[in-house]
Amino acid sequence: MRPLFFLVLVSLLAPLQAGALNKDPFPSTYQPLPTRPTLIQHVRLLIGDGTEISRGYIFLSDGQIRALGAGDAPPGLQADVVIDGTGKVVTPGIIDVHSHLGNYPAPGYRAHSDGNESTSPVTAEVWTEHSVWPQDPQFPLALAGGVTTLQILPGSANLIGGRSVVLKNVSARTVQEMKFPGAPYGLKMACGENPKRVYGRKGTMPSTRMGNVAGYRKSWIRATEYRDKWRKYEADLIAFEESDKEDKKKPEPPGRDLELETLMGVLDGEILVHNHCYRADEMAQMIDVSKEFGYQITSFQHAVEAYKIADLLAENNICSAMWADWNRFKLESFDGIDENIAMVEQAKACAIVHSDSAWGIQRLNQEAAKAMAAGNRMGMAITDALAMTWLTLNPARSLKIDDQTGSLEVGKMADVVLWTGNPFSVYSHAEKVFVDGSVRLDLEQGIRPVTDFELGHRVRSW
């Protein structure tokens, strides 16, 4: 029998090989632009964590938030740029956790439609970043809506659609230049009508909801077996290295499998599950499946019926990314209500406003305003400060980047938006957008990003 310390060592080292397999072969090459120390004063600050400062200041320098507080800025802040924010509002940059920009870019031609690898119910091996076109003219439009970070997800045709990627909303030539440094990958899963419709039409499984669940379980069984092979290899490798036998033979590692590597990354907690799911009963079933195989669901996307099981979502630490009032457009969305987001918030669960739309991403602040108004009509007394968490800190938490962005805190990235007024008013818009402290949009100075694609197709005026 092997000694106890050996078994403990194996259990500690077992995830290491999986970590090596899931090491990003396409790392971020994002580089912030140069910045100028900037002080915005006499401004209302919506912090992003549910609090606000009615009149204060914020100081940005070297790509980070360096100081903020109530009242007048203290002496000694060496600012090259001083902005009077009287009557205006500063917020963290908006984070959209459900976008397909770059995968379904404009112009909207079939030749550009790269979001769904709808050739097999399980395509965990595909990575959505390999479909992102950085020249999509919709990225600057999202920036004009205050969006500084966004998660690009594969579509929902498949049970398991592939890896997502988190991007900074910056002009770039390659997707690597947009990738949010250190952000974990996600795995897009989908339940309900979409997978069963897509593959039922093809006369293959799944064509029913029970077929959906069987498909998930078969995939996770294969992933568990794959992980066990790697763990056995790791144990055998340790035994080989510790053995003093002259005829010892070094073990061979299992063959690589891109699909199972991604699923193993989920089982090892390195890749986050973002699950497209509308109905409450199906969300509960997906939670059951996750517990059967020992992985965590990070978020339910769309979550139209989240209000029915908000307590269950809070209990299981699962975020709900939701529309404000986009429902009843297909049968599984028929029980959607405008109070959904507010009711999830009331249950102390993680509520997020998302877009899933190239148009909605341009006005997520107004989507949150609609959800706030619906909650207040029910008597929930949702404040602007609380509603801002749906757009900033909660999305950051669901992407595991809240230590870097999502709220106005000293030391965090200076991803900041200056609004002309209350961001929950239809009369306000983003006046200045900073990404890592650099000005990426400034309406007063005429700074608006234009993609190379747009520039190359504009009619010359000379």
DSSP output for 85-147: -TT-EEEEPEEEEEE-TTTSPSS--GGG--S--TTSSB-TT-BGGGG--TT-THHHHHHHTTE
Give the C-alpha separation, 166 to 184, whole Å: 8
Band (455; pLDDT cuts 50, 70, 90)? confident
Q: Indicate where the chain has its CATH 3.20.20.140 domain(s).
A: 94-219+238-405
User: Longest C-alpha distance within the chain, in Å?
Assistant: 84
CA-closest candidate to residue 140, choices 174, 106, 166: 106
Peptide bond into 423 cis (omega under 30): no
Number of residues assigned to the chain: 462
Say whether pLDDT at 11 is over 60.
no
Q: Which CATH superfamily is domain 31-93+407-462 in?
A: Urease, subunit C, domain 1 (2.30.40.10)
List CB contacts of 87: < 8 A, sequence separation 6 or more. Answer: 421
CATH architecture assignment, domain 94-219+238-405: Alpha-Beta Barrel (3.20)
pTM for the whole structure:
0.94
Comma-separated ranges of CATH 2.30.40.10 domains in the chain: 31-93+407-462
What mean pLDDT comes out for the span 95-120? Answer: 95
Confidence of residue 458 (pLDDT cuts 50, 70, 90): low
The single-letter code of the amino acid at 250 is: K
**Residue 454 confidence (pLDDT):** 83
- pLDDT tens digits, 432-442: 999 999 999 99
The token pair that represents 20 in the structure block? 């090596």
Q: Could you read off the pLDDT of 20-33 as tens digits, one per residue? A: 666 799 999 999 99
And the tokens for 424?
């929950």
β-strand pairing of 297-302 with 319-322: parallel
What lies within 8 Å, CB to CB, of 281 at 6+ separation is: none
How far apart CA 382 and CA 416 sit, in angstroms, is 23
